[in-house]
Amino acid sequence: MKRKQNRKILLQTAIDCLNQNESCILPTDTYYALSVKASSQVAVKNLFKIKKRDLTKPVPILISSLNDIRDYSDTSSTIVRKLAKKFWPGPLTIVLPLLGGIPEEINNNSGFIGVRVPDHSFTIDLINLLEEPITGTSANISNVPPSKNLSEIIDAFKNSVCTYVDIPCGEETLSSTVIKIDNNNGIDILREGPITLNQIQKEVS
């Protein structure tokens, strides 16, 4: 598969693939993401298939701002807005109560959805042009560590992905920190990454 180098061509190629319910490999500030349109049940089901991911394990979505999920989640919480203002764009995934509107496969019909604004201009531009969220699960086969080596990723997925965006990821060496905020604004840390629990608690105290 030929890799395009022109940014505009890369963006348009990826958008065309996503609009055809295909999967793309996109750079983020942490690792490459395996991305499809979050609203497409067909694309989401295929993502689980090619990643060989257990259907009981939810996947996060990437957004450009809280406004992108106003139809999916209640984003009026002061705590959510404080954390978004402080840590987005960046390596913090916030798991929020879900109102609906996305395929149940994304979140295993759990009633929650993980969201993040990646600190990577290419992927932010793509989300804005696409005008809807995309999945942000790491571009690796399940139970294999994520990688920033695009050649390894291409070899792993071969022709099951529509396009690979040959732009480097950011400098983060850990996957994003994941926190869960419940309906009562309680915060649980599900995975600590570049952003620590102390940093989070300091911001909301």
Measured over the CA atoms of residue 115, residue 119, residue 123 and residue 127, the dihedral's sign is: positive
With cut-offs at 50, 70 and 90, classify the pLDDT of residue 48: very high
Q: Is the pLDDT of residue 4 over 60?
A: no
Q: Is the pLDDT of residue 108 over 90?
A: no
pLDDT on residue 5 = 61
Q: Is the pLDDT of residue 104 over 60?
A: yes
Q: Is the pLDDT of residue 84 over 80?
A: yes
State the average pLDDT for the chain: 94
Q: Is the pLDDT of residue 1 over 60?
A: no
* Average confidence (pLDDT) over 38-62: 96
The pLDDT tens digits of the residues spanning 117-165 come to 999 999 999 999 999 999 999 999 999 999 999 999 999 999 999 999 9
With cut-offs at 50, 70 and 90, classify the pLDDT of residue 184: confident
Contacts of 80 (CB under 8 A, 6+ apart): 66, 94, 96, 181
Q: Which amino acid is at 149?
A: N
Which is it for strands 112-116 and 92-97: parallel, antiparallel or unpaired?
Answer: antiparallel
- The structural domains of the chain, ordered by start, are 7-204 (3.90.870.10)
Q: Is the pLDDT of residue 69 over 90?
A: yes
User: What span, in angstroms and rounded, lies between the C-alpha atoms of 5 and 56?
Assistant: 37
With cut-offs at 50, 70 and 90, classify the pLDDT of residue 2: very low
Q: What percent of the chain has pLDDT over 70?
A: 98
User: What span, in angstroms and rounded, lies between the C-alpha atoms of 171 and 188?
Assistant: 26
pLDDT on residue 33 = 98
Q: What values do phi and psi take at 46, rounded to 5? A: -65, -35
pLDDT on residue 67 = 92
Helix (H) or strand (E) holding 113: strand 112-116
Helix or strand or coil: residue 79? helix
Helix (H) or strand (E) holding 181: strand 177-181
Q: Is the pLDDT of residue 191 over 70?
A: yes
